[in-house]
Structure 1
């Protein structure tokens, strides 16, 4: 699948959906005084002690997968040098930062840089590698399956195998494939299969094609990743996907990108001139409905462990929908090397010890029952 169908009311390019993102963010500074006061930064408090964290945003690069990435020119991922990874290094990282277990996933570009049998075989290799880790290091690792997108029949077959046979904990999907965002009707058969299994789906941003982004001297992971997550989440809501498939639990990377910040703007879209142009056949969301849909996403703390980011998330959802994420090994250069061994000390600016235990331990395990049983809660 390449590009989008110009006749489809769902046709949405990266540039058109949030093409004026910088201006939009500046204009969307809406006041939410009540929520802001409730989520005001607290004096930094002590984090819980011990190996308690459950990491739902952690990546792995099995040897053959990493070699294939390099062979195909992926020397960087989102502008970050493609890192080395091994189970031993991951466990050492977890031990240092008090992480009990990680739910591993393949980052951008998934296996979508390949096509046909090559993509299918690489997805099966990565998922089988993950399943082996669950056998050999069951108390330290979970995993989200990578799918050979955008081949929908092959992706469905692999999802069924990964969830029903390998018993992985969920799947990871990128925000878009070949410029087609999650929410597009072409993904409906896959979403139906995932909904039937009440799957946990980790939505990770994808790198923006060079011809569809501003020519800025900045790596994608700094800003563009957050905008792409926002585009995907918005399209999933306005096309009714999140309403049609309530059995799927979606985790949005990096505190939902910019979705919490632009939540009011997104909610009122149907009340503006856009309401009269709404594509036929799509449910026209109300303000209350959009707020409800935004609140149902799960938001991870990866590269977002600050009072500013978490206050924004708390303004649109409850604390029970926030889960811990480290983004390791891609975050290795940004992690604090302190005597406290705390991977996200900024979380203590807004959460006390009990709240951190909820966000970093209880909430993740509630979503992944297999991993919860493996680690014994």
Structure 2
């Protein structure tokens, strides 16, 4: 089979230029000291078995709106093209059975009022149409017209109850307001009532709200923003109050696993040690348990260092595969092995990779599981 990569490579993207190289340097620096691979590299399973829970799409009218409103780049890089045919070519080459598609940053929040509502409906209806045309190949997470809470609740009801999309994607923050803020409570109630799967994706930081460093957002700021959102959801008790929502954190949780001890410092204080065991623990004393309940995807994080950190805070059953395509095109392996995440084999054997890349994702998305198994 000829390498199809030129067909789906869309130029340098915000997530890709440095990610692979830095991950390799980090792995090399840590291997043999603090982080040691669990075993010598093992072969991955064969065939199209992967279920991709971190994959993006840009329907034609959505991409046109991005360009029309000046988003010629996303995070400083050319806004990629996308089509279902390109996605299937990519999936077939890299052994991906199906993708759960989502709209990446900036969602539809770059549009005003009714335009954002209409664009969210367009994207979600487009995704639902793929379920008919390519039944076994695509799932989708609904984009919402945030930060309009009332309109987002209405779109949640339509997307999950009527279109039967597989979940919802939320950005880490909207207009500087992070998930966990009380303003989002009504939406969380609606999501909790539906036992929704919610993919939390980082948002770009406004230039006036971050250090003036000559670095693209995807390199560091994206991971920090995921961490900020997760931390706010935990310390405000949002993840405790709505146990029916299953939250997936992008890119192996940003820095949440690495900072897990620091984030749970209150539980290690005198208050945490003396808290009666028969009383519910307040959110700040329950951080470690909440961290363990998140789901963590492997997008741009398939390395011993990242996976060891995740395994230190949760079980293997809470790790799911993600490719971050088409924003990850330049970081995909060039070896011709057709394995999009060979670093996973430095940590997991073939059976464990099958669990992470196939079984775990399908357990969370029953509609997609029924489609691919029918």
Normalization by structure 1: what TM-score? 0.86
CA distance in 2, matches of 1:162, 1:258: 31
Q: Shift of residue 269 of structure 1?
A: 3.8
Conserved 8 A contact 2:59-2:82: yes
- The answer to whether residue 43 in structure 2 is matched with residue 49 in structure 1 is no
- The answer to whether residue 153 in structure 2 is matched with residue 156 in structure 1 is yes
Count how many residue pairs are aligned between Structure 1 and Structure 2: 335
**Could you say which residue in structure 2 is the equivalent of 1:116?**
113
1:161-176 pair list within 5 angstroms: 161-176=158-173
**Could you say which residue in structure 2 is the equivalent of 1:353?**
350
Coordinate RMSD, CA, aligned: 1.9
| Deviation string, structure 1 residues 251-277 (Cα, Å, up to 9, x no partner) | 0000000000000000014666999xx
**Could you say which residue in structure 2 is the equivalent of 1:326?**
323
Q: Secondary structure at the match of 1:150?
A: coil
**Could you say which residue in structure 1 is the equivalent of 2:222?**
225
Q: Secondary structure at the match of 1:312?
A: helix
CA distance in 2, matches of 1:38, 1:363: 24
Conserved 8 A contact 1:207-1:225: yes
Which of 241, 245, 249 aligns to 2:242? It is 245
Which of 191, 194, 198 aligns to 1:197? It is 194
CA distance in 1, matches of 2:237, 2:271: 16
**Could you say which residue in structure 2 is the equivalent of 1:310?**
307
CA distance in 2, matches of 1:222, 1:167: 34
Normalization by structure 2: what TM-score? 0.86
Query: Greater shift after overlay, 213-222 or 258-267?
Result: 213-222
Conserved 8 A contact 2:267-2:286: no
**Could you say which residue in structure 2 is the equivalent of 1:32?**
none
Which of 250, 255, 258 aligns to 2:255? It is 258
CA distance in 2, matches of 1:189, 1:163: 16
**Could you say which residue in structure 1 is the equivalent of 2:367?**
370
Structure 2 unaligned spans of 5+:
1-32, 273-279
1:22-37 pair list within 5 angstroms: none
- The answer to whether residue 79 in structure 2 is matched with residue 87 in structure 1 is no
Q: Shift of residue 78 of structure 1?
A: 2.5
Q: Shift of residue 40 of structure 1?
A: 3.9
- The answer to whether residue 58 in structure 2 is matched with residue 74 in structure 1 is no
CA distance in 2, matches of 1:41, 1:192: 41
Q: Secondary structure at the match of 2:299?
A: coil
Conserved 8 A contact 1:123-1:146: yes
CA distance in 2, matches of 1:271, 1:315: 17
- The answer to whether residue 332 in structure 2 is matched with residue 339 in structure 1 is no
Conserved 8 A contact 2:237-2:283: no
Q: Secondary structure at the match of 1:85?
A: coil
Structure 1 unaligned spans of 5+:
1-35, 276-282
Q: Secondary structure at the match of 2:348?
A: coil
CA distance in 2, matches of 1:253, 1:66: 22
Q: Shift of residue 289 of structure 1?
A: 1.9
- The answer to whether residue 65 in structure 2 is matched with residue 65 in structure 1 is no
Q: Shift of residue 340 of structure 1?
A: 1.2
**Could you say which residue in structure 2 is the equivalent of 1:127?**
124
CA distance in 2, matches of 1:92, 1:139: 14
Q: Shift of residue 76 of structure 1?
A: 1.8
CA distance in 1, matches of 2:270, 2:77: 40
